[in-house]
Structure 1
Amino acid sequence: MENQGVISLGEAFVDYISTDRNNTKFWQLLGGATVNLAVGTSRLGLPTYYLCKLGTDSNGQFVEQELNMEGVNLDFSVRTDTKRMCGVYVHLTEDGERNFHSYVNQTPDEVLAEEELEREIFEKTRIFYFGSGTLFQQKSKKTTEAALKYAKETSNLIAFDANLRLKRWESEHHCRETVVSFLKQATIVKLAEDELNFLMETNSLEAGLEKILKWNIPYLLITMGGKGAYGVMQGDKVFSPAPKVDTIDTTGAGDAFMAGLLYCFHEKGMPRGTTRLTEYLQFANRVGAQATTGLGSLTSRIDLTELKKHF
């Protein structure tokens, strides 16, 4: 039987999303880029496994209950009484754009350890996904390296989404050097336009692409918010505009885009030409746009039947 499913490795968060433009009241929601991805692929019908360390306090129970309700498999995650779930305070601007205001982590060393990974799960799945959130801390970086090794040994597609949060890193240089070393190992790489410019130390999309294309990343995706996204394969570049929707909150839109993209790769395989890659971008853009129509990253329900009509 052909391998099925997606592994998402990361750190679960509790997002505190402002409910008013004055940023005085907050709504508690499940969050974190790798969590958003896991929920997105699960909602799209893919078997999805989340790998992390969970706490057993009220916030830990909240995270676990929410993921269980979304159908995300936690059998290979680890639980401990000493873990305190990370928190992120997200402020909103007048036009609904997100602003990551602060990051709170009371137990930074309580992360999934290398020896707590189980190779068995990689033997079942088709795609391994991770981001930079497990790279700025040494212990979780080693876990990520071990997971990458398992993914390569079991022929998983490797997908990387930068999701840079510079406040977590000791310096811009350390962030850039570390992230670049990992994205070179991926088959599918997604970067926002500003992340491309930061990593390549450029100030334009054209200059950033000129530098990064020398690394021959098989599938490179550059998202540009409400404008749409570029896809690059074998030096060929295509652009797909984003559909127009009534945007309320853009939190998690990029993660939803990535979930839609991985759904395409999982179900249809690697695109062999720009026409198919454009179709993948169009679908991913629709999923990403849908995520902006509610407050928070996971409150907008994906209408799977309607979206598949466009794929």
Structure 2
Amino acid sequence: MSNDGISSRFDVTALGELVIDMIPAGRSGADALYAARPGGAPGNVAAGIARLGLRAAMVSRVGPGHLGNVLIETLKGAGVETRAISRAEVDTTALAVVSLDSRGDRDFALYREGCADSRMAADVIDRDLIRTSRVLHVGSLTLGTPVSAEAQRQAIAVARDAGALISADPNLRPAVWHDPNAMLATGREAVASADIVKISDEELFALSGLDEPGDAVRALWHPRLKVMAVTRGADGAELFTPDFTVAVPGFVVGVVDTVGCGDAFMASLIAGLLATDLSRLDAPSLAAIGRRACAAGAVMATISGAMGAMPERAAIDALLANTPETP
């Protein structure tokens, strides 16, 4: 992927929420036990990028004390540059209580009211870091509060001026929003800002108001968009460009939980696209990138937690080697 004019120090800088995921960890008598695991979709993507051997950085804001320390140290341990994560004196780190069904599929109850990253201001954004990144990765939760929304919009403007690409995952979380229409508006804004989009089929249908995938993709498409990946969990994904569409099957694995699977897919997708020239991307190349991204998501499903366990290349390679391609 060519980024003429950029002296790149980072392949991907992710901007957005950092969250402590409270994940079910068994029972003690009648009491449910939870493990506190570092997470948050943009942070997971940053960690995933670094664990794939690329240069990653994170822009966010966390609360004081142990939980903020855990997030920063986990990112550092994955190889992510963390100097652009600011610390709040009072505002707390966001929490997400995770519930799992019998198949390991997750749902979230998020506690974000007044959290540190929701008050991340534009004047603390490290513009030099963003200017020297090939990709700025964002979501939609940061657009949910005026202060952090302005920070994200300014970061995107800086990235655009520097010639960087924008990747986005709408990552809709209905439990956070009092107004569903406001949630949908932020999701559409995230998609409209991006060159590369990862979106689940449920999110695609919600944002477009349509229930046929091709029509829904066309409804959200805009001239800047280069690749849209529509994920379907265990059923794989479908990838769209202006010129072609490829379908990629999923992988059969033993599921522990699905926390972070979409973020592992996103990290692998970005890494694959960074290794090619988007102006010459053809259907076989896109299918190979999509298959590898699906494998990354599948590997993630076999591991509990997210940020601290994002898959490395060797684990993805092993799954691909042991799973014959379907004709």
The superposition leaves residues 207-244 of structure 1 with CA deviations (integer Å, 9 ceiling, x where unpaired) of 42342346673211100000000000114211011122
Q: Distance in 2 between matches of 1:157 and 1:187?
A: 6
In structure 1, the residue corresponding to 2:99 is in which secondary structure?
strand
| 1:2–1:196 CA distance, 2 compared to 1 (3 A) | same
- Which of 11, 15, 19 is equivalent to 1:9? 15
- Which of 290, 308, 312 is equivalent to 1:281? 290
Gaps of 5+ in 2: 1-5, 322-327
- Cα RMSD (Å) of the superposition? 2.2
Report whether the alignment pairs 1:104 with 2:111. Answer: yes
| 1:149–1:180 CA distance, 2 compared to 1 (3 A) | same
1:1-311 → structure 2 map (5 Å cutoff): 2-3=7-8, 4-20=10-26, 24-100=32-108, 102-105=109-112, 107-108=114-115, 111-213=119-221, 217-270=225-278, 272-298=281-307, 300=309, 302-305=311-314, 307=316
Do the aligned residues in 2 keep the contact of 1:84 with 1:106 (CA within 8 Å)?
A: no
Structure 1 length-normalised TM: 0.92
Do the aligned residues in 1 keep the contact of 2:75 with 2:307 (CA within 8 Å)?
A: no
Partner letter of residue 65 of structure 1?
Answer: E
Once the two structures are TM-superposed, the CA of residue 150 in structure 1 deviates from its matched residue by 0.6
Q: How many residues are aligned here?
A: 310
In structure 2, the residue corresponding to 1:275 is in which secondary structure?
helix
Structure 2 length-normalised TM: 0.88
Once the two structures are TM-superposed, the CA of residue 268 in structure 1 deviates from its matched residue by 2.5
Partner letter of residue 21 of structure 2?
Answer: D
Once the two structures are TM-superposed, the CA of residue 23 in structure 1 deviates from its matched residue by 8.6
Q: Distance in 1 between matches of 2:315 and 2:16?
A: 30
Q: Distance in 2 between matches of 1:211 and 1:164?
A: 18
275-284 or 265-274, larger mean C-alpha shift: 265-274
In structure 2, the residue corresponding to 1:264 is in which secondary structure?
helix
Do the aligned residues in 2 keep the contact of 1:255 with 1:288 (CA within 8 Å)?
A: yes
Do the aligned residues in 1 keep the contact of 2:24 with 2:35 (CA within 8 Å)?
A: yes
Do the aligned residues in 2 keep the contact of 1:191 with 1:221 (CA within 8 Å)?
A: yes
195-204 or 293-302, larger mean C-alpha shift: 293-302
Higher relative contact order structure (alpha carbons within 8 Å, sequence separation ≥ 6): 2
Q: Distance in 1 between matches of 2:13 and 2:276?
A: 18
| 1:242–1:7 CA distance, 2 compared to 1 (3 A) | same
Gaps of 5+ in 1: none
| 1:46–1:206 CA distance, 2 compared to 1 (3 A) | same
